[in-house]
Copies of this chain bind each other. A is one copy, B any other.
Amino acid sequence: MPADSNIVAVEEKKEDGLFQSLTERSKHEDFIRRAVDLLVERVVFGRASRTSKVVEWSAPEDIKQAIDLKVRDGPASHEELLAFMADVARYSVNTAHPYFVNQLFSSVDPYGLIGQWLTDALNPSVYTFEVAPVFTLMEEEVLREMRSIVGWADGEGDGIFCPGGSIANGYAISCARSYFYPEIKNKGVYAVPKLVIFTSELAHYSTKKMAVFMGIGSDNCILVKADENGRMDVNDLERKINEAIEAGATPFLVTSTSGTTVYGAFDPIVPISNICKKYNLWLHVDAAWGGGALMSRKHRNLLNGIELADSVTWNPHKLLAAPQQCSTFLLKHKNVLKEAHSSNAQYLFQKDKFYDTSYDTGDKHIQCGRRADVLKFWFMWKAKGSEGFEKHVEKLFDNANYFLEHIRQREGFRLVIPKPECTNIMFWYIPKCLRSCENEPNYYERLHKVAPKIKERMIKEGSMMVTYQPQGNLVNFFRIVFQNSALDHKDMIYFANEFERLGSDIVV
């Protein structure tokens, strides 16, 4: 009896404490070691090789069968938890895989990952120096360096990390509005004229979405025509500005894009800036996607004139392959963020602290608690150096160009844009059944159905992941995104071969 009850007592004691929010060696060491092993072996190294699958496709119902997603009253054992980890990984898309080229993000960068893991282990919230001393200084340093790279003298200005490029584009609206109409802070839009924003018809949807969220309304986000390469038509911009003024509205902001989401086009910043000067408008450059090109002496001319912008969105989690999420909003102006957003909450931003409270930078954000997204990026930057980012970017452009020239020649491929500017390449894959039917009346209707069919095969086989979409009156085409610098020319051939293998016999 004593032995048995002893066991029971130990077990109960063990279970008892497992709800506690503290890591203790006696309770957790074994579990954490095994979990970490699983992460390193099965996830980090197990999924990034070309021979593994990009995705283990399962329909929603199958996943619900395979993983018990329901939460329960009682606790799961450590064994069960390890099994859950393996299952979650198994059914998740392998975004670290070299052949995941489906979005404007991919890769699990080794240094970025370790940076994230350290951030998680430290679990900071970046609002005051008191609570996040290192992260506060690190943000300052990284943001200044980014501003320097944008081209603002001595990296002067201001900036923040924010949860995504969409919200960064919202900050641009807020800052521009507050810059011209500071009274809006207290009085709201009722105190100011009817404001309108201009952006390209090919701009990311976030500007419009944030305009809706911020009370401006989608009708007041006026879309400017793009030319055949996807770049903003500057004449149309000026025309639309004049039309808006004539209709009694007040232009205040142009959001220009450096690297559009679908075509990767770079709007011409210099002429757009001239128009902004002429009409006294805030110029925001959404370089969420293309910003990384600034790291390359060879390609930064794509963003010529970016130093003329009042503000810039730049997502290191896109072209520079930082882990999700790492987005910055940079400004040439020093106090606008603060003036637009500060609320001086006394419980957090006390002024009688014993250190210099100008380091308490949280009040210029709309967030209160905030993750330290800076560390992973800083850590990558340390690991690779600016030169490393430069090589990374040049490798991406080199691959993209190689792929482009390869499919330009190859039977079955047709380019959407003859000379894409960024590392996303758009094309139709034409199956055999359509190859000589271009003049038939239902050609485009049939072509429109090709991409979804190839995509289905591709995902079910898990051999790569490439996205497709229609655009304007163009039917569904593929867009392959090069953003992983470990790819090589032979991978470019792999992609093209895969399209042929999956698509040539498709019947539509």
Contacts and interface: CB of A to CB of B under 8 A. Distances in A.
Interface in A70-113: 70-76, 80-81, 84-85, 88-89, 91-93, 95-96, 98, 102-103, 105, 107-113
Contact of A125 (B324, B341, B355, B379): B324
Given A24-B48, A88-B375, A124-B324, A347 B134 contact: no
A188 B170 contact: no
Interface string A129-156: 1111111111001100100000000000
B92 A122 contact: yes
Contacts of A256: none
Nearest to A260: B347
A163 B120 contact: no
A12 interface: no
Given A44-B121, A71-B142, A92-B134, A188 B217 contact: yes
A155 to B, nearest CB: 11
- Tell which of A71, A317, A391 has the most Cβ of chain B within 10 Å: A71
B190 A194 contact: yes
B350 A122 contact: no
Interface residues of A, number: 174
B455 A113 contact: no
A130 B459 contact: yes
A386 B28 contact: no
Contacts of A468: 350
Interface stretch (A57-65, A226-234, A277-285, A428-436): A57-65
A19 B295 CA distance: 13
A212 B175 CA distance: 11
Contacts of A219: 186-188
Given A32-B40, A167-B366, A70 B141 contact: yes
Interface stretch (A203-211, A400-408, A496-504): A203-211
Contacts of A443: none
Interface in A376-395: 378-379, 381-389, 391-392, 395
A409 interface: no
A125 B110 contact: no
Nearest to A114: B35
A220 B137 contact: no
Given A121-B44, A220-B188, A369 B105 contact: yes
A95 B142 CA distance: 23
Contacts of A107: 21-22, 123
Contacts of A84: 379, 382
A438 interface: no
Contacts of A343: 205, 208-209, 212, 218
A59 to B, nearest CB: 6
Nearest to A70: B141
Nearest to A104: B369
A134 to B, nearest CB: 5
B40 A134 contact: no
A25 interface: yes
A258 interface: no
Contacts of A389: 19
Given A111-B81, A120-B117, A48 B60 contact: no
A120 B125 contact: no
Contacts of A387: 19, 73-75
A48 B138 CA distance: 24
A265 to B, nearest CB: 13
A505 interface: no
A401 to B, nearest CB: 18
A116 interface: yes
A341 B118 contact: no
A244 to B, nearest CB: 14
A352 interface: yes
**8 closest Cβ pairs, A-B complex:** A188-B217, A215-B215, A22-B486, A19-B388, A163-B163, A21-B321, A21-B107, A20-B486
30 contacts: A18-B384, A21-B485, A23-B108, A24-B48, A31-B110, A32-B40, A32-B44, A43-B121, A60-B356, A63-B133, A63-B134, A76-B385, A81-B379, A85-B379, A92-B134, A93-B132, A96-B121, A107-B123, A130-B459, A163-B371, A167-B167, A174-B213, A188-B211, A189-B189, A189-B217, A206-B368, A209-B366, A215-B215, A325-B371, A350-B469
Given A163-B164, A325-B369, 15 more contacts: A19-B395, A20-B484, A21-B107, A23-B110, A28-B110, A72-B386, A92-B133, A116-B120, A163-B367, A166-B366, A347-B469, A348-B469, A350-B470, A352-B476, A353-B455
